[in-house]
Amino acid sequence: MALRARITGWGKYLPQRILTNRELEKWVDTSDAWIRSRTGIRERRIAADDETASTMAVEASRQALEVAHLNPKELDLIIAATVTPDKVFPACASLIQHQLGASKAAAFDLNAACSGFVYALATANQFIGAGGFEKVLVVGTDVYSRILDWRDRSTCVLFGDGAGAVIMEASTQGGSLSFVLGSDGSGADLLYVPGLCDSTLVANDHHYLTMNGPEVFKFAIHTMVGATKQVVETAHLTLDDIDLFIYHQANSRIIQAAAKSLSLPPHKVFINVDRYGNTSAASIPIALCEAIEEGRIQKGDHLALVGFGGGLSWGAMVVEWDSDPLEKNV
C-alpha cells in the first residue's frame, strides 16, 4: 500500500510584542480605519531584538514534537520554509536542528516566499511517499519586520512575524490526498526583496521588500480560486467535501473575494489575519494551529491549504485529517 504523509503534531510561536494600527499612525501616514478597510488587519506581532527565524521556529517545533510524542532525535529531516533566515548560510534548518538536538536529521531551507509552507509540505510528502524518510519536521518561519521599510505605508502595515510547525509521519491512511504547485516568474518584479549581491540597491538603502499591491491583489484572487479548484479535483473530491479552507493570511479582502467566487460558506473559511497580519510562510501553519485550538478541525475532516506569494508562486494541498486533537491534548 502506498505511503502517505499525515500530520501528527503541530505548534506555533508568536512574539510577545503587539504592534497595533494606532501605533503605526504615529510614524506612518495612515490610519486604523484605512488599514482595516483595505486589509482587515488591526494588529501584528513583532519579533524582539534577540528573536530570529530559527529561535521562533524552535519554539513552534518543540510544541509540534510534544503533540506528536516524538523525541527530536527521531526526526529524519527538517525543512524550513523561510525568506528571512538568520544567515545567508548555513541554512536556517541547520540552526533549528542544532537547537532542537535533532542529531539524526538532514536539514535544508526552502524559498517560495508566502507559498513556502505548502511547498515544504509537498516536498516532505514526496520524501515520505518514496520511502526515504518516516518522520519530517516542516516549519514556516519569517521575520518580515527586518526587511520592511517602516516609512512605506503600502507595505509596512501588512506584515508580521511568527512561526508554525508540523510533524509529518509515514502512514497508510489519512494524510495528504493531493497537491498542486505553480510559479510564474514573469511576475517576479511585482513582489520581491533585492539580493545581498545587488550592491547598488543595498548601498542606496533600497534593500527592503517591494510590492505592486494592486497587481498582487489580482494575481492572488485568481490564483487562489484556480488552485483550490484544481487541488480538490485532483483529490477526487468536491468543494462541498472540504470541511475547512485555510488560505494564506495576507489580506481578508483577498480571502473573502476568493471564497465568494467559489461560493464557500463563511464558516468553512478560516481567517486570523486581523490579529497577526501577513506572516508569510508561517501564515498557514499558525492558522492551522488556531483552527485546531478553536475546535474547528476534527478527525476525518478534509482540509484545503492554499498559499500564494513571491515568485510569483502558489501551492495547495488537500489533507485528510487523521489525528484526534482531543486525544493529542491528553
In whole angstroms, what is the distance from residue 138 CA to residue 60 CA? 10
Boundary residue ending a domain (172, 204, 233): 172
Per the structure, the complete domain to which residue 233 belongs is given by 177-328
- Helix, strand, or coil here: 272? coil
Cβ neighbours of 17 (radius 10 Å) = 13
Residues 142 and 26 grouped into a single domain: yes
pLDDT at 198: 64
What is the pLDDT, as a whole number, of residue 173?
Answer: 84
Residue 330 has pLDDT above 50, yes or no: no
Say yes or no to pLDDT of 1 above 70: no
Catalytic-labelled residue, pool 92, 114, 156, 289: 114
Q: Do 38 and 183 belong to one domain?
A: no
Q: 17 — phi, psi (to 5°)?
A: -70, 125
Whole-number Å distance between alpha carbons of 87 and 143 = 12
CA 54 to CA 31: how far, in whole Å?
33
Q: Give tens-digit pLDDT for 224-259.
A: 999 999 999 999 999 999 999 999 999 999 999 999
Cell, residue 109:
531551507
Instruction: Write down the catalytic residue from 248, 251, 272, 289.
Output: 248
Mean pLDDT computed over 303-330: 88
Domain end call among 143, 172, 201: 172
Chain Cα centroid distance, residue 57: 12
- Give the residue among 127, 48, 125, 119 at the shortest CA–CA distance from 280: 119
- Residue reference for cell 510562510: 281
Q: Are residues 147 and 74 in the same domain?
A: yes
Q: Do 150 and 205 belong together in one domain?
A: no
**Residue 248 is a catalytic residue:** yes
Return the CATH number at 278: 3.40.47.10
207 as an active site residue: the answer is: no
Coil/strand/helix, residue 192: strand
For residue 171, pLDDT over 60 is answered with yes
- Does the active-site annotation cover 71? no
